[in-house]
């Protein structure tokens, strides 16, 4: 889960930086965004963890993990966006 949190923060930073710093070298955005962040974060790890919880009939833990993953990621994306947007707009 921590890796997905970190990847979300990096992806928001890459997107905001690219929005405010236009570059003739277009390739770095997809290389960092889809390439690095896509390889760093994994949906498969999330799915595997959920499967492990359900296999052991730990439905409560599965729901908690899913909510922590989704809500935590959205919260981090929002907070990172707000903090970086203010710094980049100056």
pLDDT in tens, 59-82: 999 999 999 999 999 999 999 999
Q: What pLDDT does 24 receive?
A: 66
- Smallest CA-to-CA distance from 8 within 88, 77, 84 is with 77
Is 5 in contact with 72 (CB distance < 8 Å)? yes
pLDDT tens for each residue of 11-42: 888 888 888 777 767 788 788 888 888 888 87
Q: What pLDDT does 90 receive?
A: 61
pLDDT tens for each residue of 46-65: 888 999 999 999 999 999 99
Q: What pLDDT does 45 receive?
A: 82
Is 84 in contact with 16 (CB distance < 8 Å)? yes
């Amino acid at each position: 889960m921590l890796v997905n949190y970190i990847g979300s923060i990096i992806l928001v930073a890459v997107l905001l930086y690219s929005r405010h710093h236009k570059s003739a070298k277009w390739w770095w955005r997809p290389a960092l965004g889809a390439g690095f962040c896509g390889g760093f974060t994994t949906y498969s790890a999330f799915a595997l963890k959920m499967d492990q919880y359900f296999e052991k009939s730990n439905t409560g833990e599965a729901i908690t993990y899913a909510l922590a993953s989704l809500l935590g990621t959205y919260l981090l994306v929002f907070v990172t966006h707000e903090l970086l947007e203010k710094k980049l707009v100056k």
